[in-house]
Amino acid sequence: MDRAPRDREAPLRVSARDRILQSAASLFAGGRIRTTGVDSLIARADVAKATFYRHFPSKDDVVAAWLRTPEARWLDAVADELEGAPALGRLVDFWGAMGRRAEKEGFQGCPFLNTLGEIRDPDHPAYPEVSSFIGEVEAYLSSAALEAGIDDAPSMGRQLRFLAMGTWLAIVFEASTDPAVTARRMALEMLAARLGTTPDDVEHRVAAA
């Protein structure tokens, strides 16, 4: 009897480095970076201590690497979901995409804001990752505002970035995605004011695009 090739039967192997990062994602979630030690990461990842240090000189380097993973970088997923939509539509639907992200199993808030709540030292390897990502969120929103014809697009992007950060905190505090709905309504009002129209008209423009 013919048998399927062995590589079809064997499960995919997860590298030691990826297991460490998966463990970090689980153990760091919800603001537990300080309370998670190297030994916990090693035990959770089921790797030898020498293996851990071969990939990461310290726990601080694990934190920085974790923030570079797709699971942490929620903006990439949101941008992919909204790709192809008109700029004004992206600015309006951004908040719904955030809400859907928050509905995913295991969600415990924005990894970057959680990290910032625990790490304030600019010399920490994770700090530049947090700073850069927050800048990316603002740049994404500013770019969409510019494309949508919003006056002073950088200012609009900055205001919407503030709204996004507050939305994540409110979602965690209220244990609900309702803040994303409120944020969408606030964004509509802000966009309408810049465009010299009404929130209903902005809704109509987005629906008609």
User: What confidence score (pLDDT) does residue 114 get?
Assistant: 95
The structure tokens 């994404």 sit at 140
Please report the sign of the dihedral spanned by the C-alpha atoms of residue 164, residue 170, residue 172, residue 176: negative
134, 160: one domain: yes
Give 10's pLDDT tier (boundaries 50, 70, 90).
Answer: very low
Give me the CATH number covering residue 47.
Answer: 1.10.10.60
69, pLDDT greater than 90: yes
49, 142: one domain: no
Pairwise CA distance, residues 127 & 115, whole Å: 8
pLDDT (tens digit, 9 = 90+) per residue, 116-168? Answer: 999 989 999 999 999 999 999 999 999 999 999 999 999 999 999 999 999 99
User: What confidence score (pLDDT) does residue 4 get?
Assistant: 45
User: What confidence score (pLDDT) does residue 105 get?
Assistant: 85
- Mean of pLDDT over the chain: 93
Tokens found for residue 167: 């939305």
Contact between 177 and 103 (Cβ < 8 Å): yes
In a domain? residue 5: no
Give 13's pLDDT tier (boundaries 50, 70, 90).
Answer: confident
Pairwise CA distance, residues 192 & 28, whole Å: 39
pTM for this structure? 0.90
User: What confidence score (pLDDT) does residue 29 get?
Assistant: 86
130, 177: one domain: yes
Pairwise CA distance, residues 122 & 160, whole Å: 25
199, 131: one domain: yes
151, 90: one domain: yes
120, 39: one domain: no
Pairwise CA distance, residues 105 & 127, whole Å: 27
User: What confidence score (pLDDT) does residue 209 get?
Assistant: 86
Q: Provide, rounded to the nearest whole percent, the portion of the chain with pLDDT above 70.
A: 94
116, 196: one domain: yes
Find, among 143, 149, 156, 155, the residue nearest to 187 by Cα.
Answer: 156
Domain span at residue 44?
12-66
pLDDT (tens digit, 9 = 90+) per residue, 181-200? Answer: 999 999 999 999 999 999 99
